[in-house]
Structure 1
Amino acid sequence: MTQTYRTIFLSDIHLGTPDCQAEILIDFLRQHDAPTIYLVGDIVDCWRMKRKGFYWPQSHNDVVQKLLRKARKGTRIIYVPGNHDELLREYQGVHFGGIEVRERDVFETADGKRLLVIHGDEFDMVVMNHRWLAHLGDIAYGFAMWTNKWHNRSRKLLGLRYWSFSRWAKLKVKSAVNFISDFEEVLADEARKHGADGVICGHIHHAANEMRGGIRYINTGDWVESCTAVVEHSDGRMEIIDWSRRISDKAGQLAKVEPLKQITGTRDQAA
């Protein structure tokens, strides 16, 4: 059954890279719908494709086709580019197959709150002032993801839950924690300058929904590791959906139920 919300926010999908969890995103898009969908930057990873060469498997094409199909059926889709797909910022106001490109937007919730929608890279001093360092960091992140992928294949064989090195590092390493905190403060301040009640952003791959000095700070997370989205309910309530965790929990429940069915079936036959 499809769950319908008032608005869905997605960011940091990174199509064009092996790290993109396209199949999981397609599953999410099949089961969730909304009259308005915001794509909050880094949807396509032009950086990685320029450096590594063209990478575009069928699953990535399926994500694009799924979004275009929703647009054809009347869904309003607004694309706010990030740093990895910054080329699209030159096409502000242009429509591509029903998808409108905007540099930023101010979104009004069902309960009248005004939220600034922005990717957030403009407030990352490394990205803005040290581009070479940002690209170097992207290479290091790619290597960490490659290592993490093989580690989790071993964990899957052992029946263990997916473990994210990047998420663990962000929560445990002091400098990363400080960076996230500073980023949240700066974005909240930017919303305040625009007279908004809050901000919805992406960029740092760390989902959040919290108050910062009277400003609602919401980060959509990513579809590389956490596989999270932000949805707005019909009453204006904002919620983070951790889709990978829900899938994992469902799989765990099925794994517990199946042996029970087998045991029950055996007893029934014996009877």
Structure 2
Amino acid sequence: MTGAIEAKHFRTLFISDVHLGSKAARTDFLLDFLRYHEADTIFLVGDIIDGWRLKRNWYWPQGCNDVVQKLLRKARKGTRIVYIPGNHDEFLRSFPGTHFGGIEVAERAIHEMADGKKYLVLHGDEFDVVVRNARLLAYLGDWAYDAAIAINVVLAAVRRRLGMPYWSFSAWAKLQVKHAVNFIGEFQRVVADEARRNNVEGVICGHIHHAVMEDIDGIHYVNTGDWVESCTAIVENFDGTLEMITWGQISATAEITALPTASGLGSMQAA
């Protein structure tokens, strides 16, 4: 891996939906990514810690500690890190403007790119009708997603034995349901409308685990994806251009094994 992947430095890095505290969180892959990608500023765009799952069943292996410690070390070395809470880590929304070990908490942010364009940065759950108006339904959906992830682990093992490529049942199932109700398209539209109301050129969000960059009626809509299935991040180059990095695909294509964590105790948590 070290021969194939070169360390890179970017102006800004955007990551969301890591879900630390969930067995589906790919902490080792995120650690690898953070080792090879530096940035002047890192935006953590919500659902970094999965408070919902931690309330139901405490699960915090060494890999979760390693991710937190890696981010804190970057902050100590001068990286500006802004944490914008989502619905799963909404407990942090009570601390806007607070710094934890050099990590700044903010409800949302306006980020100016190197080329002068301004982007609204927010998690996006406030535009999810299910999360806003039917919390019980949202929790049930979260439980169903956990079940789909568990099925995914079994199917992945069977497909590996048969020599078949990786295929995500959980991602497929989620996409079928959300396409049925036109959820993704509607979510993107209302988030783009919010960006327009804020007089910015674009918006960067997370929440729906669907990484994409596209133009929506003159607004550049960017979704960071997640670190449960696709392992995607958005980076800003020093000329202000944005780029999507799909670490999951890089790993699968090159058959990369996650590097050992600094403590040597981290373990791959397959989704």
TM-score, structure 1 normalization: 0.90
Given the alignment, which residue of 133, 154, 173 partners 2:158?
154
2:117 corresponds to? 113
1:95-152, CA deviations, whole angstroms, 9 ceiling, x for partnerless residues? 0000000000000111111000000000011101100000010000000001111111
1:218-252, CA deviations, whole angstroms, 9 ceiling, x for partnerless residues? 00000001110011111111111110101111128
Is residue 2:243 matched to residue 1:247?
Answer: no
Q: Partner letter of residue 113 of structure 1?
A: K
**Partners of 1:148 and 1:71 in 2: CA distance:** 35
Structure with the greater alpha carbon radius of gyration: 1
Is residue 2:50 matched to residue 1:66?
Answer: no
Is residue 2:220 matched to residue 1:216?
Answer: yes
2:35 corresponds to? 30
Q: Partner letter of residue 15 of structure 2?
A: L
**Partners of 1:136 and 1:236 in 2: CA distance:** 40
Write the mapping of 1:179-258 to structure 2, written as runs, cut at 5 A: 179-251=183-255
**Structure 1 position 194, deviation (Å):** 0.3
Is residue 2:7 matched to residue 1:2?
Answer: yes
2:259 corresponds to? none
Given the alignment, which residue of 47, 56, 60 partners 2:52?
47
Structure 1 residue ranges (4+ consecutive) displaced by more than 6 angstroms after TM superposition: none
SS of residue in 2 equivalent to 1:34 = strand
SS of residue in 2 equivalent to 1:133 = helix
Write the mapping of 1:88-99 to structure 2, written as runs, cut at 5 A: 88-99=92-103
Structure 1 unpaired stretches of 5+: 253-271
Q: Cα RMSD over matched residues?
A: 1.3
Q: Partner letter of residue 13 of structure 2?
A: I
SS of residue in 1 equivalent to 2:204 = strand
Identify, as 1 or 2, the structure richer in helix.
1
**Structure 1 position 158, deviation (Å):** 3.0
Shift in CA distance, 62/131, structure 1 to aligned 2, threshold 3 Å: same
2:26 corresponds to? 21
**Partners of 2:124 and 2:203 in 1: CA distance:** 10
Is residue 2:100 matched to residue 1:78?
Answer: no
Q: Partner letter of residue 90 of structure 1?
A: S
1:146-167, CA deviations, whole angstroms, 9 ceiling, x for partnerless residues? 1111111122233333211233
Count of aligned pairs: 251
2:14·2:235 contact (CA, 8 Å) conserved in 1? yes
**Partners of 1:14 and 1:202 in 2: CA distance:** 12
**Partners of 1:162 and 1:81 in 2: CA distance:** 31
SS of residue in 2 equivalent to 1:28 = helix
1:11·1:223 contact (CA, 8 Å) conserved in 2? yes
Shift in CA distance, 98/244, structure 1 to aligned 2, threshold 3 Å: same
**Partners of 1:12 and 1:225 in 2: CA distance:** 10
**Structure 1 position 169, deviation (Å):** 3.3
Shift in CA distance, 83/64, structure 1 to aligned 2, threshold 3 Å: same
Q: Partner letter of residue 17 of structure 2?
A: D
Is residue 2:110 matched to residue 1:103?
Answer: no
Structure of greater relative contact order (alpha carbons < 8 Å, 6+ residues apart)? 2
TM-score, structure 2 normalization: 0.90
